[in-house]
Amino acid sequence: MIPGARLVLLGRQGAGKGTQCARLSRHYVVPHISTGDMLRAAVREGTEFGRKAEEYMHAGELLPDDIMVGIVDERLESDDTRTRGFVLDGFPRTVAQAEALLEITSPRGINVVIDLEVPREVVLARLASRRVCNDCGTNYSVDLPPKYDMVCDVCGGDVVQRDDDTEKAIAQRLALYDRETEPLIEWFQGKGLLDVVDGTGHPDDVTDRLVRTIDRRREP
Ligand code: ADP
Ligand code: ZN
């Protein structure tokens, strides 16, 4: 395996995107850039920006494109992403963000954008049982909890239900995905960058499918 890859994962909330991005980040030895985790970190730090971000997140709304593009642009400027690559999780979420991403990453561009496909019913059930580490953002669920009593396996942090995982906020985020982010699938298809991967079944099988798809795209 040759390290390095420039990847984007799309998928509805609850498709297992976060978990799979973390695995791909280890597999290809590239940073996992999750805009949701970055925003939650800012909220925890209690900065003025964090407080502003929290308002949007609580309301189940997207942050403005220019703010998100600025954050991701800055992160993609750093040495680790420039030399090894990245796996982007939660960005882009709108066509304007996608356009900005292709500009930021040019001329090298990205290897592939993957739509991790999971039926809506499966997604709803997963979201209700989702739990997340307060400190490092590792995802768990009621069915696949940490080894010890809701203490994170990775960092020892508290594993909790995200406070934006309320029923109302979930419904709103799914509707938002359909309206703002789903159109990206066709948009990236038009650029010849999109592959669809089945996100159902055991997480290990999903990772295998992802790696096979990605390696096909990374071949010289
Ligand atoms: P989810 O797991 O619900 O898909 P994330 O953890 O990726 O959500 O992000 C949580 C929230 O942070 C989103 O609901 C949104 O308010 C905000 N957010 C994250 N990424 C973006 C983005 N690329 N553009 C706008 N808002 C974003
Ligand atoms: Zn943790």
Q: What is the pLDDT of residues 188-205, one digit of tens each?
A: 999 999 999 999 999 999
- Please name the residue whose Cα sits nearest to atom 6 of ligand 1: 36
In short, whether 140's Cβ falls inside 6 Å of ligand 1 is no
Mean pLDDT of all residues in the chain? 92
Q: List the catalytic residues.
A: 17, 93, 130, 162, 173
**CB burial readout 109-135, b (16+ within 10 A) else e:** ebbbbbbbebeeeebbebbeebbbbbe
State yes or no: pLDDT of 25 exceeds 70. yes
Which among 38, 49, 73, 93 is the best mutation to test ligand 1's pocket, defined by most ligand atoms within 8 Å of the CB? 93
User: Which range (37-51, 90-104, 114-128, 179-193) has the least confidence?
Assistant: 114-128
How many angstroms is it from 153 CA to the middle of ligand 2? Answer: 7
Burial class (CB in 10 A: 0-12, 13-18, 19+), 211: middle
Report the pLDDT value the prediction gives residue 206, as an integer from 0 to 100. 97
- Work out the average pLDDT over 82-87: 93
Say how many CA atoms lie within 13 Å of 126 toward its Cβ: 24
| pLDDT value at 59 more than 90 | no
Decide whether any atom of ligand 1 lies within 6 Å of the 39 Cβ: yes
| Distance separating the N- and C-terminal Cα atoms of the chain | 13
Does the structure show a pLDDT above 90 at 162?
no
114 in Cβ contact with 15 (< 8 Å) = no
Span from the CA of 104 to the centroid of ligand 2 (angstroms):
30
What pLDDT, on the 0 to 100 scale, is given for residue 1?
Answer: 66
The CB of 13 under 6 Å from ligand 1? The reply is yes
Ligand 1 centroid to Cα of residue 132, in Å, is 15
**Residue closest to 72 by CA, chosen among 84, 59, 86:** 86
Residue 171 pLDDT:
84
| pLDDT for residue 154 | 96
